[in-house]
C-alpha cells in the first residue's frame, strides 16, 4: 500500500478522515448509477447568530435565563458568539437535527417548493453547460436562491440546477476530502528506511496531529453523530476476478475443529451465498439478491474477562 501511494487508506474507518469521505464519494457515485441523476444541488449553511430559537436554548443552558425575542434581537454580536462558543455540543446537535427536519418537513412536502420557483445566479465560467436565468442587477452578488426555501431555512443557501451530475458529485467529494496532506506524508515515508509498521504509524501520526477541525466537528466525532446521511444504504459487491478477491478466514475456534484436509476455511460472503441460492431464485440477479434477500450470518463476539 505504501509503494502504491495508498497507505493512507487504513484510515478509512476513522470518521472525518479523507479516506472515509473517499469511501462516501464512491457510495454517492453508486447512488447516481442506481437511481439516476439528481435535479438540484442545494447547500445549506448554519446561521447560529440569527436563529432565535437556538439562541434562546443556549441562553437557558449557558446563562440559566429565558431571553425574550426582543432581548435576543438587541443582543450584541459578541454576546451571541459567547453563547455559541460556550456550548458547541448543543449547536452541533441542533444542526444535525435541523437539515433532516427541513428536508422531511419542507423540501419533501406536498408543496414542491423547489419546483414552484427557483432563481439561479449567473456563473462566470463557461467551461461546461450552464443555465442562465433572468436576475435583477441588485442580485448579481447574491448566491443562487429559492424564495420559499430561503424563508423556511432562514440562513444562507445556494441552489443550482444539476446539468452534469458526476461533475457535481466530484465537486462535493473534492470539497470535503482533504487528502493532499496524507499523500504528501505517504511520499515522505516512501523515501525513508522505516519498516512498514513504522511508516503506517508515521502517516497516522501526521493526520492526527496536523489536521485542524472545528469544535462542532469534534462534537460529531465524540458523540458519534452521523457525518453523512443518505436515503439509501450502499452495499459493495466485489466483482473482481476470483483470484483477485480478498476473503476472510474463519475464526480459530472453528478452524481448530476442522480436519486437516478440509479446505473450506473461508468465511461466508455475499458472493458465496448468492452462488448457493435455491433453484427457485435462479433468475434473481446479484444486485437484487444483495438488496432484498441477503442476510449475513450473525457474529458472536467472545470477550475475555
Q: What is the pLDDT of residues 29-87, one digit of tens each?
A: 888 888 888 888 888 888 899 999 999 999 999 999 999 999 999 999 999 999 999 99
- How far apart are alpha carbons 67 and 71 in whole angstroms? 6
Three-class HEC string of 182-229: HHHHHHHHHCCCCCHHHHHHHHHHHHHHHCCCCHHHHHHHHCCCCCCC
- How far apart are alpha carbons 123 and 131 in whole angstroms? 9
- How far apart are alpha carbons 130 and 141 in whole angstroms? 18
Q: What is the pLDDT of residues 220-232, one digit of tens each?
A: 888 888 888 888 8
pLDDT at 210 over 80: no
Rounded alpha-carbon distances, angstroms, from residue 14 to 89, 116, 295: 20, 41, 26
pLDDT at 27 over 60: yes
- Farthest CA pair distance, the chain: 81
For the residues 262-282, what does the mean pLDDT come to? Answer: 87
Amino acid at each position: 500500500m505504501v509503494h502504491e501511494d495508498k497507505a493512507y487508506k487504513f484510515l478509512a474507518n476513522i470518521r472525518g478522515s479523507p479516506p472515509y469521505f473517499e469511501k462516501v464519494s464512491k457510495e454517492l457515485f453508486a447512488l447516481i448509477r442506481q437511481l439516476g441523476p439528481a435535479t438540484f444541488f442545494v447547500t445549506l449553511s448554519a446561521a447560529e447568530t440569527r436563529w432565535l430559537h437556538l439562541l434562546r436554548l443556549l441562553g437557558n443552558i449557558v446563562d440559566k435565563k429565558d431571553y425574550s425575542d426582543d432581548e435576543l434581537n438587541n443582543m450584541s454580536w459578541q454576546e451571541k458568539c459567547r453563547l455559541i462558543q460556550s456550548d458547541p455540543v448543543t449547536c452541533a446537535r441542533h444542526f444535525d437535527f435541523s437539515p433532516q427536519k427541513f428536508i422531511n418537513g419542507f423540501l419533501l412536502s406536498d408543496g414542491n417548493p423547489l419546483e414552484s420557483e427557483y432563481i439561479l445566479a449567473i456563473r462566470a465560467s463557461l467551461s461546461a453547460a450552464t443555465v442562465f436565468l433572468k436576475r435583477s442587477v441588485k442580485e448579481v452578488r447574491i448566491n443562487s436562491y429559492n424564495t420559499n426555501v430561503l424563508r423556511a431555512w432562514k440562513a444562507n443557501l445556494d441552489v443550482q440546477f444539476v446539468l452534469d451530475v458526476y461533475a457535481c458529485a466530484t465537486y462535493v467529494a473534492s470539497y470535503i476530502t482533504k487528502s493532499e496532506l496524507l499523500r504528501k506524508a505517504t511520499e515522505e515515508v516512501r523515501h525513508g528506511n522505516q519498516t512498514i509498521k513504522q511508516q503506517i504509524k508515521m502517516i497516522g501520526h501526521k493526520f492526527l496531529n496536523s489536521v485542524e477541525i472545528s469544535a462542532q466537528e469534534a462534537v460529531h466525532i465524540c458523540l458519534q453523530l452521523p457525518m453523512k446521511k443518505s436515503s439509501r444504504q450502499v452495499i459493495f459487491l466485489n466483482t473482481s476476478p476470483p483470484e483477485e478477491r480478498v476473503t476472510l478466514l474463519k475464526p480459530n475456534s472453528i478452524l481448530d475443529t476442522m480436519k486437516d484436509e478440509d479446505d473450506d476455511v473461508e468465511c461466508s460472503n455475499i458472493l458465496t451465498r448468492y452462488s448457493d441460492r435455491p433453484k427457485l431464485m435462479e433468475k434473481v440477479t446479484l444486485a437484487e439478491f444483495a438488496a432484498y434477500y441477503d442476510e449475513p450470518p450473525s457474529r458472536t463476539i467472545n470477550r475475555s474477562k
